Amino acid sequence: MKEITFYKRFEKDILEKKKTITIRREGDLKEGDIVRVSRYEDNIYFCNIKILSVSQINFDHLNETHAIQENMTLDQLKNVISEIYPGLLDLFLIEFILID
């Protein structure tokens, strides 16, 4: 099973199905993948997700819809992405659902 980590601050939103996308540098996941999810800080497992889609996106094309899918404002989303991936413009948008 493939694995992915999220910062602890995103765990609650994922478990409450408020966060349904992730924006990453890597696009190695594919539609249909079942992925084991752990916290980045301590590698503690907290759920599994199913990948619905993976597409490329440019930082400048992030919009309000993406922010809603991340459970943030657009400014918050752009700030978080800039902190995690400073200067990186070409990213991957990974849409997922929480599974049991």
Active-site residue list: 19, 22, 70
CB of 70 closer than 8 Å to CB of 19: yes
Classify residue 88 by burial, with Cβ atoms within 10 Å: 0-12, 13-18, 19+: exposed
